[in-house]
């Protein structure tokens, strides 16, 4: 099984390459240059008709998905600290339980009387945003076809397919269906909102490689790296056997439309990629955002194999793109960033500390940056992951689970609160379907619907983006 579980891992779906060394993709993006395919005229007309039903596209809004590849163990991110709750947590987690004295209390009024919660010191930057009212916790989220009970799960009734599989659950979180999905709910949001943008090519943007979350039925994700748009190598380098005329020759080739439909389409796509790159570079040249803090302790800890600033650099590029929204004529954008390393079957206490620190510090840097741009209320970041993990320890780590706790962060978030029902953190409860795998009390569909509604989608549009929304309460969860 090919698992996306580190910062440098590329998509399993290999991109087609031409003999000249240029990367091509049929309806997707190559690895050596961005290939932002514009939608056809018929697709644009269809989107315009849909757009007429939309609730609102005034102003500017951006949605940022932070995906934690591998399956984040959120049981140690938000921990019961009341006497009864901590005793249950400690007994269930055993060797993985964090010391009570290391947990910093958080404010919450929505849970049962007598319950109290805390977060570890490594999440202090994220906890600060929470206490400032700019971050919310959404409890026990996971993929569901419809609400089900533990008895129904045990009977195999309405159980989502291929639970506990990395590739399938990454796809299910991002698209609503298991591996092989052709579009994600972020991309389907983009399908509907693209016509509000002056540059529809930049509606869905990935800073972390190809991701089904951003793939639409009409829009195609535009890919950038931490330095910005990725250009055609041959136009910047003398790639033709080292000959100085290599770049000139390539430009001359691209000026010739060709004699066959394939040649003409190839040329059209590459020329469009070159044009889009130039447009984006021009817009980015007019913006400036703060540098990533150079505090060594911020990026220390955990596995030595991970690029410890990778997430912060991705988020800095997203902040730059957001800052360029007026120059590009953008009203609605959907972004994705990611960090790997969360498949903590072993060395969990060693590695999780560093992962927490990097996520919390990177998110705080990003939130402060967009706030400094005057766009804090216009940007919402949310976390996602393959699945939660087991409450039960395997002695050195935890195994694949189901429901997990997530965060929404931004100036529009109604923070300092836990939304949804926080489960009893113990084994053998009505929420435990085995080894402390939590039966989700909030579906990804409901979580996504609240984010989509904030982006301006109407009820009809939400049903298009999230086909099984009718199986759940269609109202928003209240955190936006």
The CATH number assigned to the domain holding 189 equals: 3.40.720
- Asked whether the beta carbons of 233 and 246 are under 8 A apart, the reply is no
128-182 residue pLDDT tens: 999 999 999 999 999 999 999 999 999 999 999 999 999 999 999 999 999 999 9
Strand partners for 141: 404, 442
Q: Which domain holds residue 182?
A: 16-231+294-471
The pLDDT value recorded for residue 477 is: 92
The segments of the chain whose pLDDT lies below 50 read 1-3, 5-52, 55, 241, 296-297, 299
Considering the domain boundaries, does residue 279 fall inside one?
no
Measured CA to CA, the distance from residue 342 to residue 363 in angstroms comes to: 17
DSSP 132: T
The pLDDT value recorded for residue 293 is: 84
How many domains does the chain contain in total?
1
Measured CA to CA, the distance from residue 210 to residue 146 in angstroms comes to: 29
Long-range CB contact pairs, 259-268, < 8 A, 24+: 266/18, 266/24
Considering the domain boundaries, does residue 451 fall inside one?
yes
- Nearest CA to 437 among 114, 105, 143? 143
Considering the domain boundaries, does residue 362 fall inside one?
yes
The pLDDT value recorded for residue 411 is: 98
Confidence (pTM): 0.86
15-52 residue pLDDT tens: 322 322 333 333 333 332 333 333 333 344 444 444 44
Measured CA to CA, the distance from residue 248 to residue 21 in angstroms comes to: 16
- Asked whether the beta carbons of 6 and 67 are under 8 A apart, the reply is no
The pLDDT value recorded for residue 110 is: 82
The pLDDT value recorded for residue 112 is: 83
Considering the domain boundaries, does residue 131 fall inside one?
yes
Considering the domain boundaries, does residue 273 fall inside one?
no
The pLDDT value recorded for residue 388 is: 98
Burial of 443 (0-12, 13-18, 19+ CB in 10 A): buried
Burial 405-427 (b: 16+ CB within 10 A, else e): bbbbbbbbbebbbbbbebbbbbb
Residue 285, φ and ψ in degrees, nearest 5: -65, -20
205-225 residue pLDDT tens: 999 999 999 999 999 999 999
Q: What is the dihedral of CA 49, 50, 53, 56, to 10 degrees?
A: -110
């Amino acid at each position: 099984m090919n698992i996306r579980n580190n910062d440098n891992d590329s998509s399993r779906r290999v991109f087609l390459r031409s003999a000249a060394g240029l990367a091509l993709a049929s309806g997707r993006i190559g690895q050596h240059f961005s290939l932002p395919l514009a939608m056809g005229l018929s697709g644009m007309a269809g989107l315009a008709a849909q757009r007429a039903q939309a609730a609102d596209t005034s102003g500017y809004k951006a949605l940022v998905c932070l995906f934690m590849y591998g399956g984040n163990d959120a049981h140690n991110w938000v921990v019961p600290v009341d006497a009864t709750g901590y005793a249950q947590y400690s007994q269930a987690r055993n060797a993985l339980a964090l010391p009570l004295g290391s947990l910093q209390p958080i404010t919450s009024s929505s849970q049962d009387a007598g319950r109290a919660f805390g977060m570890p010191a490594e999440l202090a930057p994220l906890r600060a945003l929470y206490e400032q009212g700019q971050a919310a916790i959404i409890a026990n989220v996971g993929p569901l076809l419809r609400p089900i009970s533990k008895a129904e799960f045990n009977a195999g009734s309405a159980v989502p397919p291929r639970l506990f599989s990395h590739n399938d659950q990454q796809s299910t979180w991002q698209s609503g269906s298991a591996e092989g999905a052709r579009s994600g709910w972020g991309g389907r949001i983009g399908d509907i909102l693209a016509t509000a943008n002056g540059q529809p090519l930049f509606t869905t943007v990935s800073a972390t490689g190809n991701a089904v979350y951003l793939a639409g039925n009409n829009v195609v994700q535009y890919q950038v790296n931490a330095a910005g748009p990725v250009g055609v190598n041959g136009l910047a380098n003398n790639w033709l056997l080292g000959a100085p005329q290599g770049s000139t020759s390539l430009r001359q080739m691209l000026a010739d439309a060709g004699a066959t439909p394939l040649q003409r389409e190839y040329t059209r796509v590459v020329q469009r990629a070159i044009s889009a790159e130039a447009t984006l570079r021009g817009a980015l040249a007019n913006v400036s955002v703060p540098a990533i803090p150079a505090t060594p302790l911020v990026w220390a800890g955990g596995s030595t194999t991970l690029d410890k600033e990778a997430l912060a650099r991705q988020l800095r590029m997203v902040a730059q793109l957001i800052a360029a929204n007026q120059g590009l004529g953008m009203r609605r954008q959907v972004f994705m960033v990611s960090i790997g390393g969360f498949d903590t079957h072993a060395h969990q206490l060693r590695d999780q500390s560093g992962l927490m620190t990097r996520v919390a510090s990177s998110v705080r840097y990003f939130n402060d940056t967009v706030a400094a741009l005057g766009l804090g209320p216009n940007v919402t970041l949310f976390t996602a992951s393959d699945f939660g993990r087991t409450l039960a320890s395997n002695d050195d780590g935890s195994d694949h689970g189901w429901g997990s706790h997530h965060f929404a962060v931004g100036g529009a978030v109604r923070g300092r609160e836990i939304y949804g029902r926080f489960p009893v953190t113990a084994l053998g409860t009505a929420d435990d379907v085995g080894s402390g795998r939590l039966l989700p009390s909030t579906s990804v569909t409901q979580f996504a619907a609240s984010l989509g509604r904030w982006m301006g989608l109407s009820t009809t549009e939400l049903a298009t983006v999230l086909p099984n929304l009718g199986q759940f309460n269609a109202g928003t969860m209240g955190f936006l």
